[in-house]
Structure 1
Amino acid sequence: MACERGGRIWRLADACGACAAATTQAAIVPDTMLTAPLRPPPVQPRRPRPSRGPGERVRVGEILSYLAAALPADASAGARLLALQCALRMNAYMRVELRAGLLRSLRIDVVEACHELERARWASVVNGPGALGIAAELRDTTLLAQSPALPDRRRAADWALRTGCPARIGGVEPRLRLSGVYLAAHSDPPSGEGLSECDRIIRDCGLHSHGFHGALSRLTANGVLEEWRICPDSGDVHWTLAQGQCPAVPPSDR
């Protein structure tokens, strides 16, 4: 591009680089590049987080055994169901918040269950029970030794809720639902078969000896168990879950 008449007129012409450089009062117009519009990187599908530590059944079974030692022997099934959810959902500061919808799904007397846990000095309720739920601080530092992966523990808590729901158990009685959760937690998923000591079932589920046979008989009548029996030699209890009574693991965390 060359100028004439003192720069008032400019002429645009094609020329090689050498000619353009030799032309007086000329300026080389640089080549322009059309840049492609920037596009955001493709969104990678989120991979499910791998589970860490024991599975849902093992984790629930371990907490039920822990609660059998941490709570008084006469603690009600409702208090144990509430404590199970608190232990699995607590954060690293041993605090837990349970919303009202979750508490309703437990189908227990939440006020009485909270009083039981406070009398046992296992938990301290700092807010509620109310319309929004409860907030509590757990007082047993033994719980800090469990797996720190909160999403995995929440999955186990959700599994326990589904396993012990009245629609599956066939009744709303907390003792019956707690027993159903225990038996499912100690069953082999593919076959549904389980084995445990009779005394341990009574202790972990808070059952008195006279209520043990009644609870398992009702679970059989309600279609949760296919059969159960006590080995006369060892005293162990053998049972088999009815077909379709092994809840699936949720595909993602809640």
Structure 2
Amino acid sequence: MRSTPARRSAGVVLAAAACVLALAGPASAHVTVNPGTAQQGGYTAVDFRVPNENDAANTVKLEVNLPLDHPLASVRTLPLPGWTATMEKSKLDKPIKVHGADVAEAVSKITWTADAGTRIAPGQFQEFRVSLGPLPADADKLVFKALQTYDNGDVVRWIDEAKDGQPEPAKPAPTLVLTKAADATAGASPAADGHAGMTASQDGAAGAAGAASGSDSTARVLGVVGIVVGVVGAGLGFVGLRRKSGTTAS
């Protein structure tokens, strides 16, 4: 009969561990832009990370809208096997100057469509890499509204903008936070041809930032696992003390 409290204690420990894991899981299940920060005025490379949140359907298309209130003159997609990327351009109300030249139109939308036999299956994610620039020097963020299409016809609209002081919306739009350059050389102009847009050092920095983002995600997962292990260990220790106490009393 002494085992009944022990079973109850163990049950509480397992329930607590399950709650910790449940709370940790949904936090990363949005369409996001990674890394989430870049310097104003420079060029960067980012990944649009797309998880499949549907247990019964596959993701087969991603549409990302680029802001035209802060147009980006140079936009390049990295080829991704199994996916076809297309870009749409829009005429700007007011031309912008890039490296001394007037730019009258800019990419307003990128669409990735899965080729036959390609998909993001349940429990999987995919990253779509893009180089962007020059980033605006007069904005603190860029919002990329995105649409995720499943092969059953469902479309998830990741278009809600987060508001200061308010809870995160259910379907937040991927957002790139822009920070001020650390010094006068940060965000310096790249090669004059304006192609993919990054010098070797900038490209390396972007890659390092991406790696840091991945490391940060890994750290969060390990942190959650550590919490669970700690909770389970404390619970088992408590159960052991109750058993020892019960044996001594007898």
More strand by share: 2
Q: Specify the TM-score bucket, using the shorter chain as the normaliser.
A: under 0.3
Q: Structure 1-normalised TM-score? A: 0.27
Q: Structure 2-normalised TM-score? A: 0.27
More helix by share: 1
